Amino acid sequence: MQMLHFRVPTSCNGMRLNIFLRTMGVSSACIKAVKYQGTGFCVRLGDEVIPVHTDYRVATAQIISFALPPESPTAVQPEPLPIDVIYEDEFAAVLNKPAGIAVHPTLNHTSGTLANGWLYRLKCRGEDGVFRPVNRIDKNTSGLVLCAQNAFAAPELAKTAQKCYLALVEGPLPVGSGRIDVPIARRGDSIIGRCVREDGKPSVTEYTVLAASASHALVSCFPVTGRTHQIRVHFSWLGHPLAGDSLYGGHTDIIARHALHCAVLRFNRPADHEPRRVQSPLPEDFLAACCAAYLPDKEEIQTMLQSVLPCAE
């Protein structure tokens, strides 16, 4: 059972407890769960720790504490799968997902997913829990997946997470920055396919071309919105489909899956709001495709990424 503790700053003196907790980033759903399903809230007064209700008026320098309620049971089954954990603390974990593995079980992929492997990892540590991904990536997209360790952390992580994807696109593009702002809708001839269409949902991708050759370009992509297949659809519409992306017009001569990798994640750590930045190692098939396209090698690409989504000093 995880305990959370919050010191009341002067600016919050006299606030109702529920309003103070919302100010601290605790969601209303989490407050209700602690109130009705957990052990409630308490405050330290001198040497005493006493229970308080959500209408209690907090005072400067008081410590408000509560235990997160137990997680609801999950139907996902633990499976002994290798999980590459790049970063972990009591609030967040960042996993490095290889291409070919789904993030979460679906009708088509009921096992062998990142979720199954994560639950097995918890089981081996003697812990209960659920798999709570904050960002999801396609089965054949590789790279970083941010997960919340508990219900308290999830809203804050979702609110502050920023992602940078690396895409290898076909055709030369001028080095520099750009923005694709066109709506995306379901494609009528495909269950999973999407397309650019006037009646679609607003969709924005910002990007920077890091390097280009006569046949391909290496692009860092920042999805402002989070539509299904957004980066793939946007660059296909631009006339530069991702290498390996046969669904949207790409060719599989230098890579067998769409060349998209979530390379950098930046987020604020819940409770203290300190920024964290995680950078992923690049998968071998992506690097081999860059080599075949006469683009920068592993060390050069990693150096380029160092300036992406920096944390303030």
Residues designated as active site = 138
> Which pairs from 250-256 meet CB under 8 Å and 24+ separation?
250/170, 251/170, 254/288, 254/289, 254/292, 254/293, 255/168, 255/285, 255/286, 255/288, 255/289, 256/285
Partnered with residue 204 across adjacent β-strands are 181
Q: Tell me how far apart the alpha carbons of residues 54 and 95 are, in angstroms, rounded to a whole number.
A: 36
Reading the block at residue 289, the tokens are 């495709």
Reading the block at residue 58, the tokens are 């907090």
Tokens 């103070």 correspond to 20
Termini Cα distance of the chain: 34
Nearest to 144 by CA among 283, 274, 254: 283
Q: Tell me how far apart the alpha carbons of residues 66 and 31 are, in angstroms, rounded to a whole number.
A: 10
Identify the sign of the CA torsion 111, 112, 114, 117. positive
